[in-house]
Amino acid sequence: MQKNILLTGGAGFIGRWVAKKLLKEGHNVWILDDLSNGQESNIAEFRSHANLKEFVEGTILDEELLSTLFAEHRFDICYHLGASINVQDSIDDPRTTFNNDTIGTFYVLEQCRKYNTKVVFMSTCMVYDRCTDEMGINEEHPTKPASPYAGAKVAAENMVLSYYHAYGLPTVVIRPFNTYGPYQKTGGEGGVVAIFISNHLKGLDLSIYGEGTQTRDLLYVEDCARFVVSAGFSDSVNGEIVNAGLGKDISINDLAILVTGDSQKINHVEHIHPQSEIQKLLCNSNKATRLLGWTPEVTLEEGIERTKTWIQQGGLQ
Ligand SMILES: NC(=O)c1ccc[n+]([C@@H]2O[C@H](COP(=O)([O-])OP(=O)(O)OC[C@H]3O[C@@H](n4cnc5c(N)ncnc54)[C@H](O)[C@@H]3O)[C@@H](O)[C@H]2O)c1
């Protein structure tokens, strides 16, 4: 059935893929993004799609704007992706991250409570403590707010779940692992895969913070978007926390070699925030498979190829 959907952060990297999937499935979509890190060109591909009802340039911190949008469109589902996402920025300026990620989420929740709108809250694997188990991190794994970014997300997660318990609002917390693919920024503020590929294509050396033994479970963005969308349409995940990842981790050293094919092109530089680094991140997505029937489909090698092709074709304009 066609739904009215609010997508915050929809002009960002993952958000634009979520928008694309929702539009493909025939839903009415409103995008709210303040363009602090997103850009309109990310949604240019479907800007004239009849079901993309409106792109609103505005912030989730504007309660009046939220109130008007919800009153006018009575959203069935809110995919809440709008957030400050950079760990280092959150260390330098915790106020901005706390405002956007925690307070902003509270404002979104208040509107959802008023209109009984299902909430899909985009959290992150960065809330987890390091993993020591080869079975990977499941949702029972301890959290550790190693940065204000993680702290702000954990605080928001708790508010999101409290609205399920206290008001019976259908809400779900999702924790995708590190996501990469086309439309991710390739500059210093982007993701490790995009930065490595971009530097490699420019003939530059790859710089690794610290020893490079830290591992990441890398999820291709269309797999991530499929997971995000499915969480909005399933009652079985209400009141739950659900992970999604590839289920394989790779050290940053091995990732660099996979991208360049040449260990001579790799430099190790001093870590800028070693205290907030998580040494091992490996996802156990069994719960997503059980409750949503979700499994990742794109291998790391295939995802890197797709990302490389996109960057070679011009990348972000
Ligand atoms: N990239 C990853 O590896 C990853 C992994 C897990 C979870 N996440 C989460 O997924 C979401 C999307 O991340 P992304 O990687 O696409 O980053 P992104 O920065 O590209 O997307 C976030 C979007 O939110 C917008 N935004 C920020 N503050 C806002 C505000 N106050 N009001 C309205 N819009 C605002 C930004 O302009 C941006 O377009 C975030 O919530 C992030 O925490 C990302």
pTM, full prediction: 0.97
Q: Are strands 250-251 and 215-216 parallel, antiparallel or unpaired?
A: antiparallel
Q: What is the pLDDT of residue 134?
A: 86
Residue 17 lies inside a defined structural domain of this protein: yes
Question: What is the structure's pLDDT at 317?
Answer: 59
Q: Is residue 272 part of a domain?
A: no
Rounded distance between C-alpha atoms, residue 206 and residue 264, angstroms: 10
Say if 256 falls within a structural domain.
Answer: no
Distance 37 CA to ligand 1 centre (A): 8
The pLDDT of residue 194 is 95
**Which contacts of 98-101 are long-range, i.e. CB under 8 A and separated by 24 or more positions?**
98/148, 98/151, 98/152, 98/155, 99/61, 100/36, 100/59, 100/60, 100/61, 100/152, 101/149, 101/152, 101/153, 101/155, 101/156
Nearest Cα neighbor of 218 from 138, 301, 147 is 301
Q: Which residues of 227-243 are buried (b: 16+ CB within 10 A; e: fewer)?
A: bbbbbbbbeebebbbbb
Best CA proximity match to 276, nearest among 158, 98, 85, 127: 127
User: Which amino acid, one-letter code, is at 216?
Assistant: R
Residue numbers of the domain that contains 145: 4-180+219-247+282-297
Is 257 within a domain? no
Q: Which residue's CA is minimally distant from atom 11 of ligand 1?
A: 81
Q: Within a domain: residue 36?
A: yes
Indicate which residue's Cα is closest to atom 6 of ligand 1.
124
307 inside domain: no
Helix axes of 148-167 and 104-115: crossing angle, nearest 10 degrees: 20
The answer to whether residue 212 is domain-embedded is no
* Ligand 1 atom showing the smallest separation from residue 153 Cα: 43
Closest-lying ligand 1 atom to the alpha carbon of residue 60: 32
Print pLDDT tens along the chain (317 aa): 899 999 999 999 999 999 999 999 999 999 999 999 999 999 999 999 999 999 999 999 999 999 999 999 999 999 999 999 999 999 999 999 999 999 999 999 999 999 999 999 999 999 999 888 889 999 999 999 999 999 999 999 999 999 999 999 999 999 999 999 999 999 877 799 999 999 999 999 999 989 999 999 999 999 999 999 999 999 999 999 999 999 999 999 999 999 998 888 899 998 888 887 889 999 999 999 999 999 999 999 999 999 999 999 988 75
Catalytic residue among 79, 128, 149, 163: 149
Mutate to test the pocket of ligand 1, among 81, 228, 281 (most ligand atoms within 8 A of CB): 81
Q: Counting Cβ atoms within 10 Å, is residue 135 exposed (0-12), middle (13-18) or buried (19+)?
A: exposed
Query: What is the C-alpha to C-alpha distance for residues 123 and 140, in angstroms, rounded to an integer?
Result: 15
Tell me, yes or no, if 149 is annotated catalytic: yes
| Bridge partners of residue 163, in order along the sequence | none
User: Total structural domains in the chain?
Assistant: 1
Nearest CA to ligand 1 atom 43: 85
What is the CATH number for 23? 3.40.50.720
Residue nearest to atom 8 of ligand 1 (CA): 124
Tokens 């508010």 belong to 159
Q: Which residues line ligand 1 (CB under 6 A)?
A: 8-9, 11-15, 32-38, 59-61, 81-85, 100, 104, 122, 124, 176, 178-179, 191
Q: Could you tell me the distance, in angstroms and rounded to a whole number, from the CA of residue 254 to the centre of ligand 1?
A: 27
Asked, for residue 313, whether it belongs to a domain, the answer is no
